[in-house]
Structure 1
Amino acid sequence: MTIQWFPGHMAKAKRQVSEKIKHVDIVFELVDGRLPISSRNPMLDEILQQKPRLVLINKADLADPAQTKKWETYFNEQGYAALAINSQDNKGSKSILPKTKEALAEKLQREQEKGLKPRAIRAMVIGIPNVGKSTLLNRLAGKKMAQTGNKPGVTKGQQWIRYKKDLELLDTPGILWPKFEDQEIGKKLALTGAIKDQLFHQDDIAIYALEFFKQFYPEQLADRYQLTQEDLAFSTAELLMLITKKQGFQDDYDKGSQRIIHDVREGKLGKYTLDRYEEMSE
């Protein structure tokens, strides 16, 4: 199974980002806390060049907190400011402005020494589809300025949104990249909802999810579907069949797969992180 999604509006958005990057002071790069590396667009480094960056580890409420702390440290060590947030219920958003000023301290100091009049900081908000950009912007603006949806590809254009008097934010559509060199990244993005469901086989992604939870969070998997230790010893395909029957779908493995994917996305199997810091450090 090969997963890929790069529609025309993403190519257009990439061009627009390249054109407007010179008009902003800093980039807010949103990543999904459940896959903080796999949800980073590798094209960004080329587009953003040396522009200061604040990595916002969003959906932290769904991620394994121990892993999130390690990833915050990782990004700091890479030279980026980093902050774990949850834009859905506004947790961490009050720290964004202080963290932004901290990241731009030298630039703001130089402007002050030159006698320049203080102005609002301009930030571009960027990330892959369905990572929570529009939800964050609406929280900061205090009203619905950007269209949101629990599916990828909702934002199609770009718009400026003001946060108090200190920050102006440029919303951008979610941008993926033309080819996933590692198909495991495609599976992670499919499982968390960054890719349209019509573009992959749901049973393949459900099996991937079951393999992952069996390895890293077996107790959470067992609790959700009332599985015994003997059940967990089954092959992943057999486990999918068992869970499908337990959910009342008989032999409808498509429905069983859809239920598993939905449960994983909604956090019904508990908090989890697909990108393991230990594997990255190796």
Structure 2
Amino acid sequence: LAVTSKNRGGVQGVKNAIETELAELLERRAVKGMAGAKIRVMVVGIPNVGKSTFINSFAGAARAKAADRPGVTRGKQWVTVGNYDLLDVPGVLWKKFDSMEVAGNLAFIGSIKDDVLDIEALATALLGEMQRMYPERLAERYRLTAEELGQDAYDLLETVGRKRGMLMSGGVVNTERAAITLVDEFRGAKLGRVSLERPEEA
């Protein structure tokens, strides 16, 4: 059984959703005298989306290895929690992306490893999206004026770095450091709760 954690109600809400979905199966098990058999659940999703963290929340303890970067889960691992056997698996991605927008969004949230990306290009692209969709969040977080907010994305990256005091000798902005900070703050929700995708207009 593959389960998503979209439903509200936290861990108990997820357990209720599983049991509701499997009601017929559990009833058949009970008839066969298998009422105590464990429920096996696979937790699957893209890299760095929080699968291991979800399992640890479900278990109420650190049972699965988790970190704020993709690729930490190297292989399958079973975690037993009460009447549940949870299978944690490495994140999965499409073999290729038909849309560069999808690829970019996955990179922004850390589902694609940063070491295969140009961090300044990534931060510049992210700034461009935030300028388009959530300019007020940028302005609030980095104390930007309307004029600064209207800059080219790379110039805006330099402005963010300068405001944070990320200067090298000669007063040159360390744009790599600024890019790393910007991306980390975005992933840490320091720019607020945002959605990179919106429903298509009818």
**TM-score (ref. length: structure 2):** 0.88
Question: For each residue in 1:75-133, what CA deviation from the matched residue of structure 2 results, as whole angstroms up to 9, or x when unmatched?
Answer: xxxxxxxx15xxxxxx7112111111112223334444x44421221111111211111
**Residue 99 of structure 2 is aligned to residue 124 of structure 1:** no
Gaps in structure 2 of 5+ consecutive residues: 167-171
Identity of aligned residues (%): 36
Match runs of 1:1-282 below 5 Å: 26-28=1-3, 55-57=4-6, 83-84=7-8, 92-112=10-30, 114-118=31-35, 119-165=37-83, 167-249=84-166, 250-276=172-198, 278-279=199-200, 282=202
Q: Corresponding residue for 2:169?
A: none
CA offset at residue 143 of structure 1? 2.7
Q: Which has the larger radius of gyration?
A: 2
Say which SS state the counterpart of residue 2 (structure 2) adopts: strand
Query: Which structure's residues are more often strand, by fraction?
Result: 1
Partner AA of 2:188 in structure 1: E
Q: Which runs of 4+ in 1 moved over 6 A?
A: none
Structure 1 CA distance, aligned partners of 2:61 and 2:183? Answer: 31
Structure 1 CA distance, aligned partners of 2:86 and 2:108? Answer: 29
Q: CA RMSD in A?
A: 1.9
Structure 2 CA distance, aligned partners of 1:117 and 1:243? Answer: 61
Partner AA of 1:27 in structure 2: A
Identify which of structures 1 and 2 has the higher relative contact order when contacts are C-alpha pairs closer than 8 Å and 6+ apart.
1
> Aligned residues, how many?
196
Structure 2 CA distance, aligned partners of 1:244 and 1:230? Answer: 16
Q: Corresponding residue for 1:50?
A: none
Structure 2 CA distance, aligned partners of 1:189 and 1:197? Answer: 11
Structure 2 CA distance, aligned partners of 1:145 and 1:120? Answer: 18
**TM-score (ref. length: structure 1):** 0.64
Partner AA of 1:156 in structure 2: R
Question: For each residue in 1:141-175, what CA deviation from the matched residue of structure 2 results, as whole angstroms up to 9, or x when unmatched?
Answer: 2332211111111111212212222x211111112
Gaps in structure 1 of 5+ consecutive residues: 1-25, 29-54, 58-82, 85-90
